[in-house]
Chains A and B, each alone.
Chain A
């Protein structure tokens, strides 16, 4: 079992460029989440999905879009990257009830210059 796989692991973007972060899970989890982690701010929820074809906004959704066309994949898109989006991005997934916690990917370190 690979668990939660994020690609890419590192990326440097220029301001205004676009990119997509891919998250794939092989545990048949219903729920998937995108978080960003910044020093002193902890983990903040960007968007989440409670099932295939559904998405919802989290705490800091501006500047990001997401799609969940397949149950196992959750994509995070940046249409026009800004330096404020420099961060470490984590994807996570869980069963319907989070009694067993979330399974996290290893993160994507994004720098926008």
Chain B
């Protein structure tokens, strides 16, 4: 079965610093989704990537999917305390199914 591995597991950065979170799949990704979870709350959808080499941005967050569609990165520029939380990648488990799988998450803390 497909697995999603995220790195790092946790990250502490000073406000204003850039950071990158990675999500690696054991199989080809047909759809890769990034979510943010604030502590004690549900997940908020950030963006979805489908095509090899695709890149999307939302405010100061940029996500990329590599050409082989097995790895995605989430980059935050000039981090702020509001970026703190848990970032999870999710993917369509298998093409044509409805079973979504998730990475174990990256816990981000931004120091003011």
Interface residues, chain A, CB within 8 Å of chain B? 4, 31, 33, 35, 40-45, 48, 50, 56, 58-59, 90, 92, 98-107
Contact = CB atoms under 8 A, between A and B. Distances in A.
A42 B104 contact: yes
Interface residues of B, number: 24
B88 interface: yes
A101 B33 contact: yes
B42 to A, nearest CB: 4
B52 interface: no
B48 A101 contact: yes
A25 to B, nearest CB: 12
Contacts of B103: 42
Q: Tell me what chain A mostly uses at the interface: helix, strand, loop, or mixed.
A: strand
A98 B100 contact: yes
Nearest to B34: A101
Contacts of B100: 33, 45, 98, 102
Contacts of B92: 98
A44 B3 CA distance: 12
A101 B35 contact: yes
A81 B4 CA distance: 29
B85 interface: no
